[in-house]
Amino acid sequence: MDTATPGAAGARSVFNADHEIFRTQVRRFFEREIVPYHREWERAEIVPREVWRKAGAEGLLCPVMSEEYGGAGADFGYAAVIIEEIARTNASGIGFPLHSDIVVPYVEEFARPEKKREWLPRMASGEIITAIAMTEPGMGSDLKAVRTTARRDGSDWIINGSKTFISNGQNCGLVIVVCKTDPGAGRKGISLICVEEGTKGFTKGRNLEKIGMHAADTSELFFDDVRVPAENLLGEENSGFSYLIRNLPQERLVIAIRAAMSMEVMLQKTIDYAKDRKVFGQTVFDFQHNRFKLAEQKANAVMFRVFADHCLALHMKGQLTIDMAATAKLLGTEMQNRLLDDCLQMHGGYGYMAEYEIGRAWADARVGRIYGGSSEIMKEIISRTL
């Protein structure tokens, strides 16, 4: 079965035949609804909301969500298929995994029953696009230092503060805001509160201009005496930090899965290019230096494929640890950045042209070493287990 793996890693055992049938459906959707328009969306710096609704109608959003709320109740392998197809097509503006695999799980796990019934079906259909707002202008890596506050006022929460770099920030209909509900208590004073678009005092700032991932909307968000009902709190008051720690491994696995596929696909495209492009009367591939570079990167891509699939299999059994997920994110994004840089180099000047996929993939990938916890933070996490 074609999983876009060039083969050297051998047959992949993490997916079954049903996953591959689903992959065919996802691939058709991407070829029809996304690939032809993605460059246009890069120029517009946003993906139209309509695309989300089409994806929802095809069952491409929230595959893991329980059927009770409109999901497919599927295993995480189905989510991985979608993540891989995004990477395979370099559709870096498509924020489905952030929504389906990072934000919505908090709502499904921790929201009040009536809120689940109200929100989850609309999240599965693409009517509500979600975001999670942790980072602030003065704080990113050190999550416990958030300054945005939420205080109780009768049966409401009043939220004040600002967030930045929030993915899906322009498109979001609901954002989970990481707030301090007990400012003196550090990590034990953090709560997660949902804020819906249109709530008085909640404003979206500008769509931030980035060096890559141009079709992905990334925003500042402002909260000025935003009043939301107490039921918008996820789980228990002051337990938000522990929820984040528990769910962040899945976010890191998403990034690692993406890196593995991006490496395989862009390497293959570079091999094809190198075999075709002539310099000094021979192909770029004919030079031993270039063949060795490609061979070295092939070895990296194959090794990481095996490790990423191992982590995915562990996750599907509920056994992916925080440090293993950090290892996968660290290795995957660092390798991906080195590989794409070598691939870009082999394209010469064309590699630097935005119309070539390799240049865009190179710029898109750079953020992988920063978001979802930077490489340095991944090393911190791993080093705690030494």
Ligand X SMILES: Cc1cc2nc3c(=O)[nH]c(=O)nc-3n(C[C@H](O)[C@H](O)[C@H](O)COP(=O)(O)OP(=O)(O)OC[C@H]3O[C@@H](n4cnc5c(N)ncnc54)[C@H](O)[C@@H]3O)c2cc1C
Q: Which of residues 213-232 bind ligand X (CB under 6 A)?
A: 213, 218
Total interface residues for ligand X by CB under 6 A: 21
Counting contacts by CB under 6 A, is residue 16 touching ligand X?
A: no
Options 45, 85, 108, 251, the catalytic residue: 251
Q: Hey, what are 64's tokens? A: 């893991």
We find the least distance from the C-beta atom of residue 189 to ligand X, in angstroms, to be 18
Question: Based on CB atoms, which residue is closest to ligand X, 19 or 214?
Answer: 214
Counting contacts by CB under 6 A, is residue 283 touching ligand X?
A: no
Which residue in the set 53, 122, 125, 140 belongs to the binding site for ligand X (CB under 6 A)? Answer: 140
We find the least distance from the C-beta atom of residue 240 to ligand X, in angstroms, to be 13
Three-class DSSP labels, 98-114: HHHHHHHHHHHHHCCHH
Counting contacts by CB under 6 A, is residue 5 touching ligand X?
A: no
Handedness of CA 230, 232, 236, 241 (dihedral sign): negative
**Euclidean distance between CA atoms 122 and 124, whole angstroms:** 5
At 250, is the secondary structure helix, strand, or coil?
helix
Which residue in the set 55, 132, 150, 174 belongs to the binding site for ligand X (CB under 6 A)? Answer: 132
We find the least distance from the C-beta atom of residue 167 to ligand X, in angstroms, to be 3
**DSSP states along 48-116:** -HHHHHHHHHTT-S-TTS-GGGTS----HHHHHHHHHHHHHTT-TT--HHIIIIIIHHHHHHHS-HHHH
Question: Based on CB atoms, which residue is closest to ligand X, 133 or 311?
Answer: 133
Question: Based on CB atoms, which residue is closest to ligand X, 121 or 373?
Answer: 373
Question: Based on CB atoms, which residue is closest to ligand X, 313 or 370?
Answer: 370
Q: Which of residues 349-378 bind ligand X (CB under 6 A)?
A: 367, 370-371, 373-374, 376-377
Q: Which of residues 164-203 bind ligand X (CB under 6 A)?
A: 165-167
Counting contacts by CB under 6 A, is residue 380 touching ligand X?
A: yes
Question: Are the CB atoms for 301 and 264 separated by under 8 Å?
Answer: yes
We find the least distance from the C-beta atom of residue 135 to ligand X, in angstroms, to be 4
Q: Which residues pair with 167 in a beta bridge?
A: 218
Kind plus residue range of the DSSP H or E element containing 134:
none
Residue 251 falls in the annotated catalytic set: yes
Counting contacts by CB under 6 A, is residue 135 touching ligand X?
A: yes
Question: Based on CB atoms, which residue is closest to ligand X, 311 or 367?
Answer: 367
At 347, is the secondary structure helix, strand, or coil?
coil
Nearest in space to 121 (alpha carbons), one of 49, 72, 48, 50: 72
Q: Residue 232: is it exposed, middle or buried by C-beta count within 10 angstroms (0-12/13-18/19+)? A: buried
Q: Hey, what are 314's tokens? A: 């562990």
Q: Are strands 218-229 and 202-207 parallel, antiparallel or unpaired?
A: antiparallel
Q: Which residue is nearest to ligand X (CB)?
A: 140
We find the least distance from the C-beta atom of residue 96 to ligand X, in angstroms, to be 13
Instruction: Give the list of residues 6+ apart from residue 386 with CB closer than 8 angstroms, or none.
Output: none
Question: Based on CB atoms, which residue is closest to ligand X, 59 or 95?
Answer: 95
Positions in the binding site for ligand X (CB under 6 A): 131-135, 140-141, 165-167, 210, 213, 218, 367, 370-371, 373-374, 376-377, 380
Q: Which residues are known to be catalytic?
A: 251
